[in-house]
Amino acid sequence: MILRHLHIPGLTPYAHASKLQDLLVARLLAHKSNPALPAPDPTIITAQFHPVYTCGRREVGSVSEEQKGYLTQSTQWGKAEFREAMRGGQTTFHGPGQVVAYPILDLRRHGISPRCWVDKPEDTVIKTCAEYGVQTRRTENPGVWVNEQEKICALGVHLRRNVTSHGIGLNVNPELGWFGRIVACGLQGKVRRVSRSKASSPYRAWKM
C-alpha cells in the first residue's frame, strides 16, 4: 500500500477538485461495501483554487441569496464564486496563495480512530511550518495558529463510514482582503499568512 499524492498544478476551480475527491471517496466506500473489489490506496489531493467562498455543512441551505451576492461581488482582487461543502466548520475563503490538502483514506483500515484523525492534519501543518521557521500551535479553537489571535491554517473535515474527505487550507501568501467579507470559520479578524510571520525561509522556498 502506498500514499498517492495528486497535485493539481496552477489554479483550479473548486468544483474540479471536489469532483475528484468525490470519485476517490466513492471508490473507497464501494470497496467497503464489496471487499472483493480492489482496495484503493489512500490519496492526498493538493491544489490552489480560483477564489471561492465555501460554507460548511452546518450552514448548507442557510446562506441567503443576499449574502451569496455580497460574497461574489467583484473586488479589486477579482471575483469569487460560492459553493456549499459537507466539511465541518463555517464559511471561509480559498484562493491563490493558499494550499488546500484533502487526505482521502479509510481510517478503520489504517487503525486510526476518528478522534485521533482530527489531530493528524494539524500536527502535519505544525511540523511543516516549523521547517520554514514559523512557530505555530493549537488553541481551543479548530485549526493551526501563530498565536492566540491569528490563525494560519483552517481545518474542516468530513467522515462517512470512516472514510475521510476535505482537510486543511494553509495560508502561505493569500490576499487577506478576501477574508474581510466573512467571519472566517466563525472567528472574525483572526487570519494570518506565512509571509507575514517570522519565517526563516523566504516565501519563494514554499513549493506551491
Active-site amino acid positions? 185
User: In this structure, are residues 154 and 89 in contact, taking their beta carbons and an 8 Å threshold?
Assistant: yes
Does 56 belong to an annotated binding site? no
* Side-chain half-sphere exposure of 165, counting CA atoms within 13 A: 23
Does 91 belong to an annotated binding site? yes
**Residue 39 grid cell:** 482496495
Does 37 belong to an annotated binding site? no
Q: How far apart are CA 55 and CA 4, in angstroms?
A: 28
Does 189 belong to an annotated binding site? no
Does 88 belong to an annotated binding site? yes
Does 167 belong to an annotated binding site? yes
**CB burial class (10 A; 0-12, 13-18, 19+) of residue 143?**
buried
Task: Specify binding-site residues.
Answer: 87-94, 154-156, 167-169
In the annotated binding site for substrate, the residues are 87-94, 154-156, 167-169
